[in-house]
Copies of this chain bind each other. A is one copy, B any other.
Amino acid sequence: MTTDGDGRLEAALDLLRARGGRVTSARRAVLSALLEHQEHASAEALAEVVHASHPDVHLSTVYRTLDAFEQLGVVTHVHLGHGRAIYHLTDEIHHHAVCERCGAVVQLPLALFAQLHHRLLDDFGFEVDAHHFALVGRCARCLGGTGATGDRPLATADGEDRRSLARRPASGASP
């Protein structure tokens, strides 16, 4: 079977229309770019994809479109680092752990957070939507290679995120 991307696209557009919004080629293109995009997509990255077929869709329109779909609950954005936000479809929610050394992004199933979720709710009355921000740390690879299951080629960041978390290594190190 082909991906059900088309179905999801149409469903989102229908919802948009149902709420009084208008389906434009720009919006269709942005949503489509989001569906295609396997990696974590920043607004700018999406704009680039969109530009391939629709060169004059402005970046601000991409932001506005993402915002519109976010209002509809179709899209969510997450902060992986100090820089840009990344966007994905709401039905693909998961946690993110970003390696502060190499920038690799690891996707984590929500299930891992179940216990934390409960304890926060019970002990603090706080209900987390925990996916909004990424966790920061060191990935298996950067920890030294002897990590437990650390031989998979962990998801790599776009290469754009790489600098987000890395501050300058040391202050007065070089001669």
Contact = CB atoms under 8 A, between A and B. Distances in A.
A116 B119 CA distance: 12
Q: Give the interface SS of chain A, mostly helix, strand, loop or mixed.
A: mixed
A106 B119 CA distance: 14
Interface size range on A against B: 35 or more
A125 interface: yes
Interface in A71-105: 71, 79, 82, 97, 99-100
Interface string A121-162: 111111111101111111110010001111000000000000
Interface stretch (A7-15, A30-38, A107-115): A107-115
B122 A148 contact: yes
Interface of A: 19-21, 67-68, 70-71, 79, 82, 97, 99-100, 106, 108, 112-113, 115-116, 119-130, 132-140, 143, 147-150, 167-168, 170-172
12 contacts: A21-B171, A70-B167, A71-B167, A71-B171, A97-B126, A106-B126, A120-B135, A121-B148, A124-B149, A125-B149, A128-B136, A128-B137
